Structure 1
Amino acid sequence: MAITALPPDTEADIARVTEALAMITPRWNVRILLALSGPPLRYSELAAKVSWLQNGQLHPKLKSLCDAGLVERTEHTARHVTYGHTERATALLPVLPMIVTWAEEHLEKADRPLPAIEQIEDSLTLLTRRHAAAILWVLKSREEVSGRVLARIVMPSSDWTNIYPPLRQLVADGLADTEGNGRPYRLSAAGAALGPVLGTLSAWAAGQPLDQAAHHPVWGQPQAKSKPRPWVSSQSRPGPAALPPARAVGSSPAWHHRDLFSHAVAGRPTAAIPAGGPRR
């Protein structure tokens, strides 16, 4: 993939985020990470927490998470081995409620209330489709782009018509829009709303503090400067209004990991919200 006319290091940025998504998206990985969110556990203790996994399924999952640097295996003695989060896994956890927030707003509504963990898994499935991250990056950077130009950027060594299957999938998932054949593509409202999630994943994948997501060259949202008002010398100048305390992106989320396994239906406005991407 050759990224042209985009912010520097975009290709490496996309590769890091794609790799990060590949670490956590495989089935059960997020659930295992959440089960390990407390003190380190022995294998039997962890198996009891993820009892839906059949015999032989947990060990390879743990090995892959250890290889990815998200789970640490500590051998205290030959008969005492525990598993727990690495610092990298702990730093990743604040991304999960951000994904839930996006899913609640933009994924199509299911017939039944879904636990937050399923919201996360459904959202990750959309983001890990082939070429999805690269296409979303380009659409965000270019605003509108034709399929041919998009193919030249995302898959320059392939026939340009190969861009259409992943593009159509993103449209079907509700992350991209187009007005019809031959018309340019652009991010949908749901796709644009992924900015905080993708920016935070980018910061995490690069080993930066999560609050750096606000300054991401593509997905960051710099504060717009307010237009100065005319000032008359005779008018009194009021003191600055008190602002609510800001919450940093990297701060501890106001939720407990156990909350991701249950779901309370939140009150919603009566106005209809367009359906976003489909469930798996």
Structure 2
Amino acid sequence: MAFTALPPDTDADIARVTETLAMITPRWNVRILLALSGPPVRYRELAAKMPWLPQSQLHLKLKTLCDAGLVERTEHSPRHVTYGHTERGAALLPVLPLLVTWAEEHLEKPDGPLPAIDQIEDSLTLLTRRHAASILWVLKSRQDVSGRALARIVMPRRGGTTIYSPLGQLVADGLVDTEGNGRPYRLSAAGHGLGPTLGAVSAWSAGQPLDQGAHHPIWGHPQTKRAPRPWASSPPRPTPAARPQTRAADGSPAWHARDLFSHATPARPAAVAAGGPRR
């Protein structure tokens, strides 16, 4: 079932990423996953690592993580039960350092050093806002987008003004920028910086290695995409009769450092008229 007006494969990608983030975002889940790093442990050993968490909550959290397929409960005997990561759970853990790296660069700096676990939890809170993933996906793929256009894409079955509440929250969180009412929306530097994290989560949710996130069609690194080679089908160029001029008339080099590269810096897009682009 489609939730947005995006292509079905993109819609499914967003749904998988949203579900994955929802598995680990609830309070204490990440801390439990980190406490289970290493060999499987008995319940009392795990509880000793988290004395501040009531045992009733620990029981419930472990059951939830087991149901999600991230933690495995192994009953060796009626009185010997251990908990540990599943293969899928262990494969997801490398996403957490990516969140720390992003948080250190883009989140507001507190007065003192913030523990990595707090940075992870704060980052996950931002990413799991309602409709956040869909909005970020659209803005990443389409650059500047008006609020009305976003509403038609992200919430095709709802009123056009419903989009402004989650959109305003993303602006307040620093993931989205706009120049004011009636102006288009775009990802901020922090929003663009989520590429490695969201690409890795997308790869994990699709059952692929995390490093495949670098090749994500939307969040992947630009340098991983092969540049077109328009000269491949063109006839070979004739060999020049003389060496090209290496210096201009005033004695300065006739070439520039940018000429050494096959790609040019894209020009900044022209300003969009008030109200955003028409679609």
Provide, for residues 158-208 of structure 1, a one-character-per-residue CA deviation record: whole Å limited to 9, x for no partner: 111000000000000000000000000000000000000000000001101
Please give the secondary structure, in 1, of the residue aligned with 2:222. coil
Q: Which moved more, 1:115-124 or 1:49-58?
A: 49-58
Runs of 5+ unmatched residues, structure 2: 230-238, 244-279
Task: Sort the Cα spacing of 1:112 and 1:226 in 2 relative to 1 into closer, same or farther, 3 A.
Answer: farther
* Aligned equivalent of 1:147: 147
Contact 1:3/1:10 (CA < 8 Å) preserved in 2?
A: no
2:178 maps to 1:178: yes
| CA distance in 2 between partners of 1:226 and 1:204 (Å) | 29
Q: What aligned pairs does 1:172-251 form with structure 2 within 5 A after superposition?
A: 172-223=172-223
Tell me by how many angstroms 1:18 deviates. 0.2
| CA distance in 2 between partners of 1:87 and 1:55 (Å) | 25
Which structure has more helix as a fraction of its residues? 2
* Aligned equivalent of 2:159: 159
Contact 2:130/2:166 (CA < 8 Å) preserved in 1?
A: yes
Contact 2:47/2:55 (CA < 8 Å) preserved in 1?
A: no
The structure with the largest alpha-carbon Rg is 2
* Aligned equivalent of 2:5: 3
Q: What aligned pairs does 1:251-262 form with structure 2 within 5 A after superposition?
A: none
Q: Normalized against structure 2, the TM-score is what? A: 0.79
* Aligned equivalent of 1:42: 42
Tell me by how many angstroms 1:2 deviates. 2.1
Contact 1:146/1:183 (CA < 8 Å) preserved in 2?
A: yes
Runs of 5+ unmatched residues, structure 1: 235-280
| CA distance in 1 between partners of 2:30 and 2:178 (Å) | 33
Contact 2:39/2:84 (CA < 8 Å) preserved in 1?
A: yes
Root-mean-square deviation (CA, aligned residues, Å) is: 2.1
Tell me by how many angstroms 1:3 deviates. 2.8
Please give the secondary structure, in 1, of the residue aligned with 2:55. coil
Tell me by how many angstroms 1:99 deviates. 0.5
Aligned residue type for 2:62 = L
Please give the secondary structure, in 2, of the residue aligned with 1:183. coil
Q: How many residues align?
A: 231
| CA distance in 1 between partners of 2:199 and 2:130 (Å) | 19
| CA distance in 2 between partners of 1:54 and 1:113 (Å) | 27
Q: What aligned pairs does 1:16-31 form with structure 2 within 5 A after superposition?
A: 16-31=16-31
Contact 2:65/2:71 (CA < 8 Å) preserved in 1?
A: yes
Contact 2:177/2:186 (CA < 8 Å) preserved in 1?
A: yes
Q: Normalized against structure 1, the TM-score is what? A: 0.79
Please give the secondary structure, in 2, of the residue aligned with 1:96. helix
Aligned residue type for 1:100 = V
2:120 maps to 1:120: yes
Tell me by how many angstroms 1:222 deviates. 3.1
* Aligned equivalent of 2:104: 104
* Aligned equivalent of 2:86: 86
Contact 2:73/2:83 (CA < 8 Å) preserved in 1?
A: yes
Q: What aligned pairs does 1:269-280 form with structure 2 within 5 A after superposition?
A: none
| CA distance in 2 between partners of 1:212 and 1:222 (Å) | 13
| CA distance in 1 between partners of 2:198 and 2:204 (Å) | 10
2:94 maps to 1:77: no
| CA distance in 2 between partners of 1:95 and 1:23 (Å) | 13
Contact 2:5/2:156 (CA < 8 Å) preserved in 1?
A: no
Aligned residue type for 1:3 = A
Aligned residue type for 2:61 = K
Greater RCO (CA < 8 Å, at least 6 residues apart)? 1
Please give the secondary structure, in 2, of the residue aligned with 1:81. strand
Tell me by how many angstroms 1:221 deviates. 1.3
Tell me by how many angstroms 1:122 deviates. 0.2
Tell me by how many angstroms 1:226 deviates. 11
Please give the secondary structure, in 2, of the residue aligned with 1:113. coil
| CA distance in 2 between partners of 1:226 and 1:21 (Å) | 35
Contact 2:95/2:201 (CA < 8 Å) preserved in 1?
A: yes
Tell me by how many angstroms 1:55 deviates. 3.1
